[in-house]
Amino acid sequence: MSLKIFVACLIGLAVAAPVMAQETGPSGLAEPRYRGHDGEASAPKPAAAPKADPANIFNVQLGSGGVVSILLRPDKAPLAVERVKTLAERHFYDGTVFHRVIEDFMAQGGDPKGTGEGGSDLPNLKAEFNDLPHVRGTMAMARAGAPDSANSQFYIMLSPNLGLDEHYTVVGRVISGMAYVDLIEKGEPPVHPTKIVRAWIGAPPADIATPPVADAATSAAANSASNLAAQASLIAGDAAKAAQQGDAKTAGERAQAASAAAQGAASAANDAAAAAQQAQKKKKK
């Protein structure tokens, strides 16, 4: 039986001995209950980050637009960092979504199933709990109830929550593009989850402000418009040849067919524009 990978949110509990707050979800699996987050007043000073070596920078291009760059910390969590690098090199994260995103808490992704129950074909990781705090922008490995159950899923903190410290393996922190993390669609699961278009290890791009990637409806309508326009052009060419050859009947038939294809292309283009506008409205909500 598969276990749902989750990140619990803790509040009002001693950091030295926090308790996992859970409730049973509709699927019978243990689900975390959101209870707010610790304030920043008691936050310890984060350990000094090493130099931003491109070999330790995890870049995530979001379908909603923008690239998020995370400085990984192999000095704190070598096994987990190596796992993230391996999966990125395999293009494992490409096309996955952020399936659990809670306002003022965190955004969780890295599951090929998109349900919170998936992982890679590699074995689960040994826990590497360390002294890096769960401040805004922290990236850590999600897990099930057992400490050594992290695999491929990760989360990025939207707000600090020190109650999670030393209970999840922190692997790094966002160094650029945090504003794009804030725009990841919220929900458990989101109605229109934000997709990871591409994830890779290396230097961040010179321009991190990539445009949003069109959704499936927009792409389908745009492709239809392009195909119909090409078809109309070919049929119009046939009509012109028939007219030059003095075949008025064929020329007339081909001209009517070209007109119908052109009208279809115009309609599909309008559909594409409407789908794009609708997608933009959904992203802004």
What are the tens digits of pLDDT across the range 48-99?
A: 667 889 999 999 999 999 999 999 999 999 999 999 999 999 999 999 999 9
Q: Write b or e for each residue in 150-165: b if 16 or more Cβ atoms lie within 10 A of its Cβ, otherwise e.
A: bbbbbbbbbbbbbbbb
Amino acid at 63: G
Q: What is the dihedral of CA 199, 202, 203, 209, to 10 degrees?
A: -10
Per the CATH hierarchy, to which homologous superfamily does domain 22-201 belong?
A: Cyclophilin-like (2.40.100.10)
Tell me the C-alpha distance between 128 and 123, whole Å: 15
| pTM exceeding the 0.85 threshold for the entire prediction | no
What are the tens digits of pLDDT across the range 228-239?
A: 777 777 888 888
Residue 35 is predicted with a pLDDT of 41
Say what angle helices 248-284 and 216-244 make with each other, to 10 degrees: 160
Amino acid at 283: K
Q: Write b or e for each residue in 194-212: b if 16 or more Cβ atoms lie within 10 A of its Cβ, otherwise e.
A: bbbbbbbbeebeeebebeb
Tell me the C-alpha distance between 5 and 144, whole Å: 4
Mean predicted confidence (pLDDT) in 262-276 = 68
